[in-house]
Structure 1
């Protein structure tokens, strides 16, 4: 019980402790937002690379198919 009386008797100390707690929560949120944004950026780059590879594979397949068609008709 003495602990509770000690805390409640110093209102300035409580305000400071709450301020530190809020500041810590904001810092954690900022760090989490940074990692989220970094992961979103990396995911976008990976999707772009994957799309380019798929498009190139399809273009190669179409090119091969049209070359074989010209061989058949030639």
Structure 2
């Protein structure tokens, strides 16, 4: 029984250490309550893609097809509009 408890405590300590390590590397974004609610609403109900996003998706898909065929190995996708 004590071994299980000690194992859990050790596992929790490793988890806390990992979380701290990640939090130190990842920038923190502070949002107001209103902005947080807006962000969550957009995640739950994303807007429909506009013309620019649709065009970018087509360019990306075309570039992936070319890369998948291997005809232009090493080609990187150009994200400019």
TM over 0.5: no
TM-score class, shorter-chain normalisation, is 0.3 to 0.5
Higher helix proportion, which one? Answer: 1
**CA radius of gyration, larger in:** 1
- TM norm structure 2: 0.33
Higher relative contact order (CA 8 A, sep 6+): 2
